[in-house]
Amino acid sequence: MNTESLKICFFNSAKTWGGGEKWHLETALFLRDQGHEVTVFTNRNSELCKRAEAAGLHTLQTRITNLSFINPLKMKELTFQFGQMQFDMIIINLSADLKAAGMAAKRAGVKRIVYRRGSAIPVKNSFLNRYLYHRVITEIIANSEATKRTLLVNNSKLFPEERITVIYNGLDFASYPPLPEAPRHQEVIIGNLGRLVTQKGQDMLLKMARELLDQQVRFRLVIGGDGPLLDKLKQEVNRLGLHDVVEFKGFIADVPAFMQSLDIFVLPSHWEGFGYVIAEAMYYSKPVVAFNISSNGELIENNQSGFLVDYPNVNLLAEKTVLLISNEKLRHEMGRAGRKIVEEKFSMHVAREKLDRFIAGGNI
């Protein structure tokens, strides 16, 4: 779709790298290549900053805290910058950024203030949120139907539903090269990939591993990712006697190779906005076991491409994982089904077509 060139600001002050930062970078690059004038505000030392600069994007560094919106100097600085640059649209990712950059953008006269919501967590029905959603935000992009639903759980009139657009995190298949099959191992490889934070539930993954050991199941568990809970999780590995079967891989730069090395992917998250790693695992034909929470059911077809189990039942998580460990044919059948689902529903082509129409102000 050919659209008028716009001046678009992406505002994301996150220090760490996650799904929201990946979306901001990929979307900023796509819109720049579509002929739009793109600027990315980032945290100075963040991974997003490094990658955006390396990709040749125009970046500006900033530092935002949860209370920046009551700092008159910070607000004056942001309002001045937005006014000088005369953005047509600002796309904001974090709640702290929404308060500071959102209010500053409104003061600067930015016409379209878009909140890209990536967490399926209900929004508090507070006075501040009512102000932001009624008076500041003009549109919302939600990364799943589950995220869209949770926006309005505590207040159905918080924001007009017709101005919430669901755009999934599409996978760019060109960036996921075909890989040779992983070498066969004596034990089945169970994998997990994500930030080591409470949300991702790796502690329940370790409890599941202990249960598998108690059942004398042969397996190896590899956990990719880094985060503040690393030391605590390593202590839990020692406490549960899992040091022979659990390996922490750290930050994973080559996600395709990591996924290809697995036999089963298990994601015990407490919530997900959009389970990007689920889609990546499914693209590499890996069956997935996860809790039936938030958006997981939008990706996984239960009993077809994997298993959705009642939250937070670790015993069921272990039971379904054992079923896959013991049945190689079922693993392959579910893996092929998952690959087909991803190709049909979650391609970058489909996501970018919707994004193009959104940017142009058209119907999705």
pLDDT in tens, 199-227: 999 999 999 999 999 999 999 999 999 99
Write the CA distances from 112 to 6, 77, 134, 238, 294, integer angstroms.
11, 20, 13, 51, 28
Given this model, what pLDDT does residue 13 score?
A: 97
Q: Whose CA is closest to 93, among 21, 181, 35, 145?
A: 21
- Parallel, antiparallel or unpaired: strands 219-224 and 139-142: unpaired
Task: List, for residues 78-116, the tens digit of each pLDDT value.
Answer: 999 999 999 999 999 999 999 999 999 999 999 999 999
The pTM score is 0.87
Question: Helix, strand, coil: what percent of the chain each, to 5?
Answer: 45, 20, 35
Domain 7-170+347-359: give its CATH architecture. Answer: 3-Layer(aba) Sandwich (3.40)
Q: What is the mean pLDDT of residues 266-274?
A: 94
Q: Residue 176 — very low, low, confident or very high, per pLDDT cuts 50/70/90?
A: confident
Which DSSP state fits 133?
Answer: I
Percent of the chain with pLDDT over 70: 98
Contacts of 44 (CB under 8 A, 6+ apart): 61, 62, 63
Laid out side by side, the sheet with 139-142 consists of 58-62, 37-43, 7-12, 89-92, 112-117, 139-142, 164-166
Do domains 7-170+347-359 and 174-345 share one topology? The answer is yes
CATH code of the domain made up of 174-345:
3.40.50.2000
Q: Is the pLDDT of residue 172 over 80?
A: yes
**Contact criterion met (CB below 8 Å) for 52 and 42:** yes
User: What is residue 334's predicted lDDT score, i.e. its pLDDT?
Assistant: 98
- For the segment 4-50, what is each residue's pLDDT rounded down to a tens digit? 899 999 999 999 888 889 899 999 999 999 999 999 999 998 999 99
- Listed by start position, the domains of the chain span 7-170+347-359, 174-345
Q: Look over the chain and give the mean of its residue pLDDT values, rounded to a whole number.
A: 95
Are 277 and 270 in contact by the 8 Å Cβ rule? The answer is no
Q: Which residues pair with 316 in a beta bridge?
A: none
Q: Given pLDDT bands bounded at 50, 70 and 90, which one contains residue 315?
A: very high
pLDDT confidence band for 183 (50 / 70 / 90): confident
Give me the mean pLDDT over the 289-305 stretch.
Answer: 97
Strand residue runs (E) in 159-215: 164-166, 188-193
Pick the range with the lowest mean pLDDT from 117-121, 266-270, 287-291: 117-121
Summarize pLDDT for 125-158 with one digit per residue, the tens: 999 999 999 999 999 999 999 999 999 999 999 9
The β-bridge relationship of strands 219-224 and 188-193 is parallel
Q: What is the mean pLDDT of residues 222-247?
A: 97
pLDDT confidence of residue 3: 61
